[in-house]
Amino acid sequence: AVIFWFVLLGPLGPLGAWAYRVTDLVRRRAVFQAGREESDATQIPPLRDAAVSLHGWLAWIPARLTAIGYAVAGHFDAALAAWRAGEPAGTTSENSERLLARVGVAALALEAGEDEDLTARGVRGATAAKQLVFRLLIIWAVIIAAMTLYGWTG
């Protein structure tokens, strides 16, 4: 998301990247503070509410682009089915996180081995996830390089 806002806003890119990171840090800090305090959980401080809402909207487009990338770099049919199967329930930020988790796991298309224990399956899953993210990075590098060559990045 930081790179997305940096590239999208052109000369104002550092401001967009900064805004995304600051809203994320404020959101995380406010949630951490709320977890440490013994106050009523139904009371949401205005700063945390605003940070969660703004961060959710700033993360919405990059999360969907990443999910599309997972589908292209992995098992497309399973990823698309996982995308369609989701139901929105929660904040925009939570929905984006759930979408990425669902689509990412589906794009991996891992099947359990016959004599595979939990540790071996976890290692195999982590390796597959690393490979999926690497393929996604290659895809985005090619897209950004093509945009740069043709002058579409501003």
Record the pTM: 0.78
Do 46 and 67 touch, CB atoms closer than 8 A?
A: no
CA distance 102 to 99: 5
Residues of the chain with pLDDT under 50: none
CA distance 77 to 52: 32
Helix axes 46-73, 92-108, angle to 10 degrees: 20
pLDDT of residue 10: 78
Q: Token pair of 98, please?
A: 């759930």
pLDDT of residue 20: 85
Report helix, strand and coil shares of the chain as percent, to nearest 5: 80, 0, 20
pLDDT of residue 153: 56
CA triple 43-55-90, angle to 5 deg: 55
pLDDT of residue 73: 94
Q: Token pair of 109, please?
A: 């298309």
pLDDT of residue 135: 95
Q: Identify the three-state secondary structure at position 117.
A: coil
Q: What is the largest CA-CA distance in the chain?
A: 56
Q: Identify the three-state secondary structure at position 16.
A: helix
pLDDT of residue 16: 83
pLDDT of residue 132: 95
pLDDT of residue 109: 86
pLDDT of residue 37: 65
pLDDT of residue 44: 58
